[in-house]
Structure 1
Amino acid sequence: MSSDTIKRYLPWVVATALFMEQLDSTIVNTAIPAMAVSLHVTPLSLKAVVTSYILSLAVCIPVSGWMADRFGTRRVFGTAIALFTVSSVLCGLALNAPMLVATRILQGIGAAMMMPVGRLAIIRTFPKGELLNAMNFVIIPALIGPLLGPTIGGLIVNWLSWREIFFINVPVGLIALYLIYHHMPDYRGETPRPLDVIGLVLFGSGTALLSWLLEIFGEHSLDPTSFGVLLTLSFSLLAAYFLHARELTYPLLRITLFRIRTFRVSVAGGFITRLGVGSLPFLLPLLYQLGLGLPAWQSGLLMMPTALAAMGMKLISSRVLRHFGYRKVLIVNTLMIGVTIGLYALVVAATPLFAIVLLGLALGFFNSLQFSSMNSMAYADVDTPDSSMASTISSTFQQISMSFGLAFGSLITAWYLGDLPQTDRLAVTGALHHAFLTLGALTIVSSLSFWALRPRDGESVSRGELRTGE
């Protein structure tokens, strides 16, 4: 398989997998209220259906880089697609909420191998000067998932049942497997490294425990003493991992990469930004359906402008970054995201439809530029031999932040709601409004992390230029 052939087809291979993963996650968000009625639980309690999926991603992604280096990108990517497709069918056949959560975890394990391995293949195929355009090309088709997901999910829930939303992945998964078999390159690590089992146990258990505690916080299922002990245990496990990783030659996640400024700011700085953004796919359908009383299909349609604007921004983000640079773009754009999230506190039943659509367009526009900037800048100064580890760390922290964002957004909403019933539309709307203001303020504060960048940081990606000095 020639290099030109790989460059021509690889973005489509990765985009098809991302399309399936994004389609599934956004369909679930729209169907949460219908699932709650069918499974006889409250809508906010079903956040576990969303968080368990993203949590399993965060826990399992650290293994993906090691698996790709050892078994090859083609085999790992193909296995991940197959597992994701089969588990999607099992999700549709779930009989109760615990069974649905369990199958979503299995689905997340499959997705955990898809995203970082696909990103790794892109990084190793395209030189840095072509990387931004290649990533944008991958993300544009993938954004069709969020575009169609809420709408298709709303229509299916309105006319059929929520179970059918998972079966859509079957034909897409088969197409992805065909493309992988014919066009996926098989990259492997230059030097085989052992799996850091101790690190996986420490990091995975610490992350899982912390996310679970955030999920149940405010539900009074644990007394304060038990909660405090478990919270201390989760932080201790994560601290133990970092101490363990410092002394190991081949750690699960090599934290020395954080010495690279562009990588550190992109991964660590973007973590807080994603807390606010990560809660929106769960909170917005609740605002539209529970707060405004809209049916599922109309709620889905209101999610479309965000995806459309995101696709449009991908077409110009390269020129924006080339002209203004990563530092200016990330500082200003993060502020705009925070303001946009806060403006959702003004959305009520009497709000004109065009105003909600404009707000969705603004959110998609700024979010798209933000993720293009953070995702591409992470690899600006990373050497090729470290690309597998960099992709693994970046994907891990990205999914952890999204998982924490979902739990954090739900936690804030539940806290503002207090003991008021979730059937009280005015109470739910008020709680969601306060949550949007809080998340918007947090996002605005997170813009301070990007002041650590220098004006020319990231130019090896945005302009294809290598810096000669600091």
Structure 2
Amino acid sequence: MSNRTRLIPITVACPLFLQNLDTSIMATALPSIASSLDVEALHLNLAITSYLLSLAVFLPASGWCADRYGARSVFCAAIGLFSFGSALCGLATSLPQLVLFRVIQGMGGAMMVPVGRLILLRSIAPQEMVAAMVWFTVPGAVGRVAGPLLGGIIVTLVSWRWIFLLNIPFGVLGILMARAFITDTQERIKQRFDIVGFVLLSIGLVGLVSGLDTAGRGLVPGSVTATLTTVGALCVFLYWCYTRRVSSPVIDPGLFRFRAYRTAVAGGMPLRIALGASPFLLPLMLQLGFGLTPLMSGLLTMATAIGSLSVRAMLRASIRRYGFKTILIASTLLTGVFYALYGLFTPNTSHALIFVILLFGGLFNSFAMITLNTLGYSDVPQNRMSQATALSSMAQQFALSLGVAFAAFLVTLTARSHGHGPDALGATDFSPAFIVVGILTWCSLFYFFRLSPDEGAELRGGKRG
């Protein structure tokens, strides 16, 4: 294995490490940030959804920018923008400032990861791709595992502001490595960017998520929520109509004609909404509901990342033996069960038991997600792969932001039904939310049951019947 096969994947995976570290580390620090900024902890879901929504909005432009201005240049600029946004987040003194700076962070994040993958595909020979992909996944996995624990240590020993400032040296290192090890050899194109479609889709996504994020929570008047949701839905509809009249839309909904792809993107939406809700709810329940320290909360929630990592050792053999359909159905059923079990935790539940249940929850969720993502592109033609990747990435980030908004709405609703506001959350305020999230996960089964038993047989080394 050549040094190039190691260095390029590790270099382009630096943003994946940054993004996973940033997401997991912030979840642990939410109560501390809320106390410092003097806001309700649930209101900080705006800081998470603004980042995820910014990712979803700007992802469609990433491929065009890389082709137009050069992948290495865009990659370095994106890391720089992400690091600059991180520095601003570390200096924020109010929730509106933090939300704005998270949007700037998301603009950089939207370009970092997909352009990094593009560089990897263009730089590594096909016969070395499997080895390169192994190295590519390592930094991101380390970020997911280290985030909860590191967040707990930082909040306990210093200040929450360092969870953002910590991104800066990693960002500088990523830029230096990119300039040292990555060469731009791809010919640049001058294709016109679909600005009309981009604007319509962006307004649609922002309107829908903002409307759902503020529904029933008293953040803005009800008329504002209704207007945001209506405008968002109308723009998405107009975008769909628009794509039927243009040859090269920024995102092509015609990709949903492919069954496996439709199953992965649309069918996987409930799973991904749950995936966005759970990491938001868990640290709040453990710290605000159970009274645990940020460090102990981080140690416990780290179990989900460890469970996710352990899947790598068994996934390939499991798919080959049982097939995609069976694995998806079984892992989705079990994911829903374990999410619901989170709702049965109490302040007296053994920490060892919580850790084990979270570990298996992370394991089965990762089983479902990796299997789904592997199957999703099996029936997409090569000449439409870049569009398919952009649409899938955008849908994933949109679902995660919906999950955070949905979780905050559920906890607010439960708190009010218990006779108090979301500013005085207790352990019992979180239980119904986890149960609802578990049930929501099972909605993906409506798509998975419709797959054929030999779906994706070519990926398993077999043939369709």
What is the TM-score of this pair, normalised by structure 1?
0.92
Give the structure 1 partner of residue 24 of structure 2: 26
Give the structure 1 partner of residue 210 of structure 2: 212
Contact 1:7 1:125 in 2 (8 A): no
Give the structure 2 partner of residue 66 of structure 1: 64
Report the more deviating stretch, 94-103 or 334-343. 94-103
One-letter code aligned to 1:420: H
Report the more deviating stretch, 399-408 or 308-317. 308-317
Give the structure 1 partner of residue 362 of structure 2: 364
For 2:193, what is the secondary structure of its paired residue?
A: coil
Contact 2:21 2:146 in 1 (8 A): yes
Cα deviation for residue 192 of structure 1 reads: 4.7
Cα deviation for residue 342 of structure 1 reads: 0.2
Deviations 1:161-200 (A, max 9, x none): 1111111112221222233223336475886532111111
RMSD value over aligned CA atoms? 2.4
Give the structure 2 partner of residue 53 of structure 1: 51
* Cα distance, 1:460–1:169 mapped onto 2, change above 3 Å: farther
Contact 1:115 1:395 in 2 (8 A): no
Cα deviation for residue 265 of structure 1 reads: 1.0
**Within the alignment, does 1:350 sit opposite 2:348 as a pair?**
yes
Give the structure 2 partner of residue 453 of structure 1: 451
One-letter code aligned to 2:338: T
For 2:268, what is the secondary structure of its paired residue?
A: helix
Report the more deviating stretch, 440-449 or 134-143. 134-143
Deviations 1:183-241 (A, max 9, x none): 33647588653211111111000100111111111123444444334322211100000
Report the more deviating stretch, 323-332 or 278-287. 323-332
Deviations 1:284-331 (A, max 9, x none): 001100111001111111111111121111232222222222211111
For 2:102, what is the secondary structure of its paired residue?
A: helix
What is the TM-score of this pair, normalised by structure 2?
0.93
Give aligned pairs, total.
463
Q: Which runs of 5+ in 2 are unaligned?
A: none
Contact 1:68 1:187 in 2 (8 A): no
Give the structure 2 partner of residue 227 of structure 1: 225
User: What is the CA–CA distance in structure 1 between the aligned matches of 2:319 and 2:452, rounded to whole Å?
Assistant: 14
One-letter code aligned to 1:341: Y
User: What is the CA–CA distance in structure 2 between the aligned matches of 1:324 and 1:190, rounded to whole Å?
Assistant: 44
* Cα distance, 1:229–1:372 mapped onto 2, change above 3 Å: same
Report the more deviating stretch, 372-381 or 221-230. 221-230
Contact 2:41 2:423 in 1 (8 A): no
* Cα distance, 1:38–1:14 mapped onto 2, change above 3 Å: same
For 1:413, what is the secondary structure of its paired residue?
A: helix
**Within the alignment, does 1:387 sit opposite 2:422 as a pair?**
no
**Within the alignment, does 1:250 sit opposite 2:248 as a pair?**
yes
One-letter code aligned to 1:238: V
In the TM superposition, what are the counterparts of 1:323-334 in structure 2 within 5 Å? Answer: 323-334=321-332
Contact 1:121 1:187 in 2 (8 A): no
One-letter code aligned to 1:183: F
Deviations 1:340-379 (A, max 9, x none): 1000111001101111011111122112222222222222
Contact 2:411 2:430 in 1 (8 A): yes
Contact 2:271 2:441 in 1 (8 A): yes
Identity of aligned residues (%): 36
* Cα distance, 1:145–1:230 mapped onto 2, change above 3 Å: same
Give the structure 2 partner of residue 335 of structure 1: 333
* Cα distance, 1:129–1:363 mapped onto 2, change above 3 Å: farther
* Cα distance, 1:151–1:96 mapped onto 2, change above 3 Å: same
Give the structure 2 partner of residue 115 of structure 1: 113
Contact 1:128 1:461 in 2 (8 A): no
Deviations 1:225-263 (A, max 9, x none): 443343222111000001101211110101222222221
Deviations 1:389-422 (A, max 9, x none): 1111111000000000110111111111115144
For 1:49, what is the secondary structure of its paired residue?
A: helix
**Within the alignment, does 1:272 sit opposite 2:270 as a pair?**
yes
* Cα distance, 1:378–1:71 mapped onto 2, change above 3 Å: farther
Contact 1:380 1:459 in 2 (8 A): no
Out of 90, 93, 102, the position equivalent to 1:92 is: 90
One-letter code aligned to 1:11: P
